[in-house]
Structure 1
Amino acid sequence: MILRVVIALAFCAPHTHTARILIVVPTPSYCHQLIFRPIIEELIKNHQVTFITTNPAYPKGDTPRNLTEIDTGPISYSMWSPEFSIAKFGKDKFIYDGVNVTFEVMPKIFAEQLRLADVEKLIRNTQFDLLILEAWFRPILIWSYLYKVPVLLVSSMGTAPGNPETMGLPNHWTYHPSLFHQKIYDLTTSERISEILRYLHVQSVFDANEAREDEILKGIFNDAPPLRSLRRNVDAMLLNLNPLWDNNRPLPQNVHYIGNINRNPAKELPRVSFVISRKVLCYS
């Protein structure tokens, strides 16, 4: 059903039978990219798709018919990796340090992606009928200024700051948790205070960074409008989230849940028997 929504949006452009679709996912993280692959697999059956990604799914020159991948990985990871390590992720303190670094470095990475020769050539020479953009990253809305076509946001990891305001979603710091929450149910008083402080920190960093993001984009496109005004260009949004973990948040008709869309079907474990040294290990 959800993929039908994507296909339906692809036909929003008049006088087209095969739509030209641009999908942009700037985050240099494999898990962020993965959620878009099932959507792309469905779309390329009938439409021309261009995917700007840090993690191409196919070797260069070996993509399926109807798919073009533009690789922004080398420049993106060269700027991203030094700022993060696996040891930092998952730590409570990462919510503070990691959020600061993410909002600091991602606009710089995005600016370098826009300056890549393949991306500049795309902007100059290619027209599109639909934009599909990663939802969490606010500067990505500049694409809706470059192309006056329907815009679909796709969340790679739940509800991010700015999404409720853009889509008119009900928003409450505990009842409808964001992706930064560490605990949702049965909070003690101290945990409740911690979640409030964490929420306020993330929101304050997000709000404070908007002027800097506007400045970076104006350095690339002189007449770029403020990002706040570009919110009005968004037509619909898909949330990579199970409604259960969002407390069944009331959604407008142009917002839908697509949780677990990237999960592969479960497979039966094969019967295995093999010998290690003199001992026999059997599974059946």
Structure 2
Amino acid sequence: MTRNHYLCVFLYVYSIECAKILGVFPVPSISHQIVFQPIWKELSLRGHEVTVITPNPLRDALLSNLTEIDVSSSAKRAMDNSNIMKNLDITKSVFSRIMFGNHLLDALVKEELEQEEVSELIKSDETFDLIILQVFAMQPVVYGFGARFGSPIIIGISTLEVFLHTHDTFGNPTHALVTPDMMLGFKGDLTFANKVESLLFNIWYRMLYYWYALPNADKVARKYFGEDIPYLGDIERNTSLLLVNLNPIMHGVRPNVPNVIEINQIHIKKKKPLPGDIQKYLDSSPQGIVYFSLGSNVKSANLTESTRDVIIRAMAELPYKVLWKWENDYLPGKPDNVMIRKWLPQQDVLGHPHIKVFVTQGGLQSIEESITNGVPMIGLPFMSDQPTNVKRITELGMGLGLDYRTMNKEQLRDAIIEVAENKKYKDQVNNSRMILVDQPMKGVEKAVWWIEYVLRHKGAKHLRSAAADMSFYEYFMIDVICFLLVCVSFSIYATIRVYCLVVWSVRKPRSKVKSN
């Protein structure tokens, strides 16, 4: 082969592998964004030209072919008056939480689409080979990007379990009893009432999404992306691949079609040295440290005064020091054994050998970090998938769960001491860790491999399930069942009629003989 031939082959391969990629990750939560960040960073390092819309840009000057559109100001406006903790509280009904989430995300996406840099991108002549979209709750407006930029390949990605309509997009099985929706919070064996509720939820949710949320989102998408785009539901169903952040410890086993890929531990990083004061504090506490953090959405500083008082009094009676992620400068009534910091490098803190217990809100990323570092947990769930996650922690013996609304000082104190001193919790976390980290490749490598796989093959139609293109009544064979019911009904009717005729014909002659 001549030198020119080699050059042609190189250029051909290069043109396929180095693509123009747009990533749209609208949700302003660092616990979600830390899953996406390593992916767009790795794609950029591999030579792809990457543009990202995000409220949490990396701002890494070394990534020369990465363009980040910062929508944090727009996201903040949408979130400021949302009172997200109150409206997504687990005490609310599933209906009210889903409806609030839909309205909140609708306002969030509108704000971000109206931001100047995003609006200019939409109006530009730019084209992309691939669009990676954050799949989140009941908000498909972002699929409009898929129609606006030359109908590129679309990949969806989620940091937690996806809702029913996303499974429908890929023809993924959603058995109401085998895989109940995460919003229901069911784990383990279901009661009969649970089974009825799960089935009714599956029906109600699909009616809500396909008859209300999707048509409304289509109207919004046409306002921002143009009236000539296809129906939003058709764009959504054209998604080639779904990357979903699940792990074998927290989510168990579920059937997936080939183009639904489970990934995990994407955000897990190599340990870095701790800040000097934190390192000194942890090193000086051989009796053990309790690490307390409620994540980036709940925030300890937003707790009610009564809940905060219960926690403070419980911490004061612990035989350990406490490192508390407290988002303000001052904690009223702070005990002497408590150190507060507005921000902490959580993975590095959990990796310290003196950490005995992690008190967490039960977010999936926090739980992965805790398992990876072999730290048992106390779960205080507040919203979303947190109650389900904490139930799973308790079932597996990796810790205990408490209700922040009803717990008292003694319950919290005793739970922490129990988990810290009873070796069975630590052992179970270590058992789970061995399963979790025993993977053929790192999470980022797996995600990027599949993204480039879809690029290489210009989509993944060969992985698409036939179920994805079936209507609801076809998939559940409603027409076939109705036909069979009609046939059975007719057969029963015909049998009864024949029986009646036979009986009548037998009885009639006997009646005549008797009368004669």
TM-score interval (norm. to shorter)? 0.7 to 0.9
My pick for the range that moved more, 115-124 or 239-248, is: 239-248
2:219 pairs with 1:215? yes
2:250 pairs with 1:249? no
Q: C-alpha displacement at 1:99, in angstroms? A: 1.1
Counterpart of 2:182 in structure 1 is 179
Q: C-alpha displacement at 1:238, in angstroms? A: 0.7
| Secondary structure of 2:216 counterpart | helix
Q: C-alpha displacement at 1:204, in angstroms? A: 3.9
TM-score (norm 2): 0.46
Counterpart of 1:162 in structure 2 is 165
- Whether the 8 Å CA contact 1:25–1:33 is kept in 2: the answer is yes
My pick for the range that moved more, 194-203 or 134-143, is: 194-203
Pick closer, same or farther for the CA change 1:188–1:233 going to 2, 3 Å.
Answer: closer
Counterpart of 1:102 in structure 2 is 101
**CA distance in 1: counterparts of 2:25 and 2:252, whole angstroms:** 27
Counterpart of 1:65 in structure 2 is 64
Counterpart of 1:142 in structure 2 is 144
Mapping for residues 33-44 of structure 1, pairs under 5 Å: 33-44=33-44
- Whether the 8 Å CA contact 2:164–2:174 is kept in 1: the answer is no
- Whether the 8 Å CA contact 2:148–2:229 is kept in 1: the answer is no
Q: Aligned letter for 1:215?
A: K
Question: In structure 1, which of residues 210, 227, 233 is the aligned counterpart of residue 238 of structure 2?
Answer: 233
Q: C-alpha displacement at 1:213, in angstroms? A: 0.9
**CA distance in 1: counterparts of 2:228 and 2:202, whole angstroms:** 33
**CA distance in 1: counterparts of 2:270 and 2:145, whole angstroms:** 34
Q: Aligned letter for 1:135?
A: V
Q: C-alpha displacement at 1:268, in angstroms? A: 10
**CA distance in 1: counterparts of 2:244 and 2:262, whole angstroms:** 5
Q: Aligned letter for 2:143?
A: L
**CA distance in 2: counterparts of 1:96 and 1:63, whole angstroms:** 46
Counterpart of 1:9 in structure 2 is none
2:264 pairs with 1:264? no
- Flag structure 1 segments of 5+ consecutive residues without an equivalent: 1-11, 275-280
Q: Aligned letter for 1:214?
A: D
Q: C-alpha displacement at 1:83, in angstroms? A: 1.8
**CA distance in 2: counterparts of 1:98 and 1:80, whole angstroms:** 16
Q: Aligned letter for 1:142?
A: G
**CA distance in 1: counterparts of 2:184 and 2:193, whole angstroms:** 14
| Secondary structure of 1:51 counterpart | strand
Counterpart of 1:53 in structure 2 is 54
- Whether the 8 Å CA contact 1:22–1:132 is kept in 2: the answer is yes
Pick closer, same or farther for the CA change 1:55–1:253 going to 2, 3 Å.
Answer: same
**CA distance in 2: counterparts of 1:73 and 1:206, whole angstroms:** 28
Q: C-alpha displacement at 1:253, in angstroms? A: 2.2
Q: Aligned letter for 2:99?
A: N
Counterpart of 2:481 in structure 1 is none
Query: What do the CA deviations read for 1:87-131 (whole angstroms, capped 9, x no partner)?
Result: 444514163322112212322332332222211222304222211
**CA distance in 2: counterparts of 1:238 and 1:184, whole angstroms:** 23
| Secondary structure of 1:43 counterpart | helix
| Secondary structure of 1:210 counterpart | helix
Q: Would you identify which runs of 4 or more consecutive aligned residues in structure 1 move more than 6 Å?
A: 266-271, 281-284
Q: Aligned letter for 1:76?
A: A
- Whether the 8 Å CA contact 1:182–1:195 is kept in 2: the answer is no
**CA distance in 2: counterparts of 1:34 and 1:141, whole angstroms:** 22
Query: What do the CA deviations read for 1:34-56 (whole angstroms, capped 9, x no partner)?
Result: 21012122111122211101222
Q: Aligned letter for 1:273?
A: S
My pick for the range that moved more, 188-197 or 151-160, is: 188-197
Q: C-alpha displacement at 1:18, in angstroms? A: 2.3
Counterpart of 2:410 in structure 1 is none
2:126 pairs with 1:122? no
Q: Aligned letter for 2:263?
A: I
| Secondary structure of 1:180 counterpart | helix
2:23 pairs with 1:20? no
Q: C-alpha displacement at 1:165, in angstroms? A: 1.2
Q: Aligned letter for 1:140?
A: V
Q: C-alpha displacement at 1:197, in angstroms? A: 5.0
- Whether the 8 Å CA contact 2:45–2:63 is kept in 1: the answer is no
- Whether the 8 Å CA contact 2:88–2:101 is kept in 1: the answer is no
Pick closer, same or farther for the CA change 1:252–1:115 going to 2, 3 Å.
Answer: same
My pick for the range that moved more, 239-248 or 69-78, is: 239-248
Q: C-alpha displacement at 1:246, in angstroms? A: 4.7
- Whether the 8 Å CA contact 1:83–1:101 is kept in 2: the answer is no
My pick for the range that moved more, 149-158 or 223-232, is: 223-232
Which one scores higher on RCO, CA 8 angstroms, separation ≥ 6? 1
- Whether the 8 Å CA contact 1:13–1:149 is kept in 2: the answer is no
| Secondary structure of 2:50 counterpart | strand
Q: Which has the larger radius of gyration?
A: 2
Counterpart of 1:113 in structure 2 is 112
TM-score (norm 1): 0.80
| Secondary structure of 2:183 counterpart | coil
Q: C-alpha displacement at 1:243, in angstroms? A: 4.5
Q: C-alpha displacement at 1:170, in angstroms? A: 0.8
Q: Aligned letter for 1:129?
A: D
Counterpart of 2:486 in structure 1 is none
* Count of matched residue pairs: 267
- Between the aligned residues of both structures, percent identity stands at 26
Counterpart of 2:454 in structure 1 is none
